[in-house]
Structure 1
Amino acid sequence: MRTIETLLPQHGKPDVASLRGYDADDLARYILDPDNAWWRRRLCVHALGGRVPEARVAGLLGRIRDRGETGEVRIALLDLLADRSELLPWLRHEDRRDEPSYGMPEAILKARGLLGDRTAARDLATLAHSPWQRTEALGEAGLDALVERYGVEAVLADLGGGRPEDRAFAVRMRHRAGQDVTGHLADPDRAVAHLAESLVADRGRLLRYLDEAPTTEAAVRAACALHRLAEDPVETRAIDARLGSPRVEVPGLDEELRRPIVHAYAPGCQRQSDPRWRLEALCTEPPARPDQEAQLARATAALTAAGLAPAGPVPCGEHRMQGDGTFHVYEWGDDEVHVSTLGRFATGYEDDHAARRPLEGAGFRWIDAETSQVRVTDLCVYYFGHREPLDVGDLLFYWQD
């Protein structure tokens, strides 16, 4: 019989199917030995699903409780043994709030939900309202288990409804029950309103709501939901005109800057964004993207003619050895210049930079400090773990690792 190590080679594809047929007691003993590679032990935990030897349960529970154990193994074991009620007192202990293993506090909350602990409902609702999909899934799994055991009304009562995350849970439950959630398009929390927008599916109700909506944002959300359902640009533009083509006004953001930013970021903007940005992207023509090869050749010629002898252009991801973004980099000495892929924009982050005049003479628009610092209000973009409005400079010359 093949060993666990041969089924799970250091290099190559693991034979998960054969692992599921492996002797359950042998798998449990392998998991309990901390000298075995943690990643193999985690895969063995997954292979034990539905066939945990009762004689090994105490030892496996001990692995969960051991803070010195690898977090990934502990989390996998929590999923495996989520039906063991004897684990609940440990899960509920106040010491669990400062668990050192990454992802362990969230996994503990999910396990409490699976074990029917209603005191975890509020924290689970907070997880379920997270913008991180993995965290959201853990919260929803715990809440769903509570609903299955106690019913929706009991969990709603535990939450109270005063927080955005409580209302988000209510929206999901009402939608699941086949109830209309259109009214939640006007929720004061944009993430809750965005959730409702993603769920509504009654075109007739949405069309009527355009005239009933208590706020412009709510009406715009109805328009975006209608577009999601029909994907009819003619209808969407007609609705936009009917609403007066509402826009987010940003002082200092002229049309040449606005259009590429709208079409690069508004379609996939974060849920806390003003929905008017997305409607604008749906109803306006995107600007023509520059011919990258020609634009960079022009920049190279201008910089070379000015005697700056640049190296480049190099894509920003290659320049920073990871990630990607919206600009190329020219570098010489201690200096560098960025040329955007979104338009004829260039910057060196200094108004008197040596490259400014040569590039402006070649038709580029230099993004000076004042312009670079214009905050594009309520257009939330993911940027190094944050989901907030960014400045023009960060958007035209965006990099993410």
Structure 2
Amino acid sequence: MRRIDKLLPDTGACDLDRLRAYDADALARYAADPAHAWWRRRHCVHALAGRVPEPWVGALLSRIRDTGDTGEVRIALLDLLGGRAELVPWLRHEDRGAEYSSVFDAILKARAVCGDLSAAGELAALAFDPWAHRRAIGEAGMDALVDRLGVDVVLAVLGDARPAERAFRVRARARVGEDVTDALADPERAVAYLAQSLLRDPDRLRRYLDEAPTVEARVWAAYALHNLTEDTAETRAVDDALGRPRVEVAGLDEEIRRAIVHEYAPVCQRDSDPRWRLEGVCTEPPAEVDISGQLRRASAALAAAGLDPAPPVHCGDDSGQGDGTYHIIRCGENRFYISTLGRFATCDDDDDNAHEALESAGFRWIDETIGSIRVTDLCVYYFGDRVPLGVATLLFYWQD
């Protein structure tokens, strides 16, 4: 086992090529022994792909069934052995729902590989999950079910009442080359978003612009068309023909709106109103911000207000991780925030002198009234949530 340990150092990359050439019996014995470090055992499982020694199958299946074993090892083993018929009763047992989510997701996928049609509903929901890594597992499971049983069988058991079921239907239709443009009118935006990502015919989208049943479906079509052609002039002409539809937000002026649109519309979440996406394509971005110059002016203004500003620190550096859209200038106990998206500034505890000094230096103060405006239907990822955020959070955004 020491030779295997040498191929699996505590730090650094694993030499999987050499591990795959290693004796399969020795790898299986190592993986089946929970006394070894879990990350080493997981690598051994990966190295056994396509060459599991039959005498070790029982011991490895036991590790899958052992809820006390490390989840990452059990997940790797489920990928390796999940199609074994003798595992099916355990996979389908009612207490499997008590597994923690990552193991349960792997169990659902293994049930699909075994042809268990009763997993279709949960797998469809998993394939519609907002988290990409979970969605990939669900999609792989649904594909396995289709490969095993046929798409018509799976479609028949699912129906189309739930958005997740309609999303699977869209994927299944697109998979065989069927036109799914009609799904741009789905009432669930995440389904329409999926449909636009699967479309490949610009001419079909141009025709659909005249036949779409709703304004939102037309906007999805315009956005999908732009993604295919990257012809901004055509997209802007389409936007003009549609009347330049946009989401109106009370109290949100054009300067702040433009800064937010061009930062977040390209990366907004699938539940966002597509009008934000189209606005991001069709409007001119704000002028590029001279961040260094802006920070110098802010520091000088704070010093002129009688404060003692510390050097500016980017929010990611201040937190020790992550990234965001502002710098912090500390003045004693108070912290001033200078946005990278424009001439926007705010602070923890309002200081009238500093506030006036920053405005005199060309900054725009974001007070609580402005900062609390929620930007309707622009869903942005923020610490696990995907919902509309307030102006202050968007202008002064940090994510680890």
Indicate how the Cα distance of structure 1 residues 30 and 332 shifts in structure 2: closer, same or farther if over 3 A, else same: same
Alignment of 1:260-271 (within 5 A): 260-271=259-270
**Partner Cα distance (1:354, 1:138) in 2:** 55
Alignment-derived partner of residue 50 in structure 2: 50
Instruction: Indicate the larger mover: 133-142 or 188-197.
Output: 133-142
Alignment-derived partner of residue 375 in structure 1: 374
**Partner Cα distance (1:356, 1:72) in 2:** 52
Alignment-derived partner of residue 126 in structure 1: 125
Alignment-derived partner of residue 162 in structure 1: 161
For each residue in 1:80-122, what CA deviation from the matched residue of structure 2 results, as whole angstroms up to 9, or x when unmatched?
A: 102211111111112111114x510111111111111100000
Contact 1:168 1:195 in 2 (8 A): yes
- 1:376 is paired with a residue whose SS is strand
- 2:226 is paired with a residue whose SS is helix
Alignment-derived partner of residue 29 in structure 2: 29
Instruction: Indicate the larger mover: 326-335 or 390-399.
Output: 326-335
Alignment of 1:274-313 (within 5 A): 274-313=273-312
**Partner Cα distance (2:360, 2:274) in 1:** 38
| 1:208, distance to aligned residue in structure 2 (A) | 1.2
Alignment-derived partner of residue 103 in structure 1: 102
Asked whether 1:3 is paired with 2:3, we answer: yes
Alignment of 1:116-195 (within 5 A): 116-195=115-194
**Partner Cα distance (1:12, 1:385) in 2:** 30
Contact 1:247 1:276 in 2 (8 A): yes
**Partner Cα distance (1:94, 1:355) in 2:** 63
| 1:2, distance to aligned residue in structure 2 (A) | 7.9
- 1:330 is paired with a residue whose SS is strand
**Partner Cα distance (2:312, 2:227) in 1:** 39
Alignment-derived partner of residue 245 in structure 1: 244
Contact 2:126 2:135 in 1 (8 A): yes
**Aligned residue type for 2:81:** L
For each residue in 1:131-189, what CA deviation from the matched residue of structure 2 results, as whole angstroms up to 9, or x when unmatched?
A: 21111111111111111121111101111110000000000111111111000000000
**Partner Cα distance (1:352, 1:332) in 2:** 11
Indicate how the Cα distance of structure 1 residues 30 and 353 shifts in structure 2: closer, same or farther if over 3 A, else same: farther
**Partner Cα distance (2:244, 2:220) in 1:** 13
**Partner Cα distance (1:349, 1:367) in 2:** 11
- 2:312 is paired with a residue whose SS is strand
| 1:11, distance to aligned residue in structure 2 (A) | 3.2
**Aligned residue type for 2:370:** T
**Aligned residue type for 2:66:** D
Please give the TM-score of this superposition, normalised by the length of structure 1.
0.97
Alignment-derived partner of residue 387 in structure 2: 388
**Partner Cα distance (1:365, 1:105) in 2:** 50
Show structure 1 runs of 5+ residues with no match. Answer: none
- 1:103 is paired with a residue whose SS is helix
Alignment of 1:216-231 (within 5 A): 216-231=215-230
For each residue in 1:11-48, what CA deviation from the matched residue of structure 2 results, as whole angstroms up to 9, or x when unmatched?
A: 33322111111111111111121111111110100111
**Aligned residue type for 1:201:** R
**Partner Cα distance (1:186, 1:375) in 2:** 26
- 2:266 is paired with a residue whose SS is coil
Alignment-derived partner of residue 60 in structure 2: 60
Contact 2:115 2:145 in 1 (8 A): yes
- 1:26 is paired with a residue whose SS is helix
Alignment-derived partner of residue 254 in structure 1: 253
Contact 2:202 2:225 in 1 (8 A): yes
Alignment of 1:193-204 (within 5 A): 193-204=192-203
Alignment-derived partner of residue 209 in structure 2: 210
Alignment of 1:334-349 (within 5 A): 334-349=333-348
Contact 1:270 1:382 in 2 (8 A): yes
Alignment-derived partner of residue 75 in structure 1: 75
**Partner Cα distance (2:13, 2:178) in 1:** 46
**Partner Cα distance (1:280, 1:78) in 2:** 45
Pairwise CA RMSD: 1.3
Contact 1:248 1:277 in 2 (8 A): yes
| 1:350, distance to aligned residue in structure 2 (A) | 4.8
- 1:266 is paired with a residue whose SS is helix
Contact 2:113 2:148 in 1 (8 A): no
Asked whether 1:19 is paired with 2:4, we answer: no
Alignment of 1:301-340 (within 5 A): 301-340=300-339
**Partner Cα distance (2:381, 2:293) in 1:** 30
**Partner Cα distance (2:334, 2:202) in 1:** 56
**Partner Cα distance (1:211, 1:176) in 2:** 26
Contact 1:351 1:369 in 2 (8 A): no
**Partner Cα distance (1:132, 1:73) in 2:** 21
Indicate how the Cα distance of structure 1 residues 350 and 371 shifts in structure 2: closer, same or farther if over 3 A, else same: farther
| 1:290, distance to aligned residue in structure 2 (A) | 2.0
**Partner Cα distance (2:199, 2:13) in 1:** 42
- 1:328 is paired with a residue whose SS is strand
| 1:312, distance to aligned residue in structure 2 (A) | 2.4
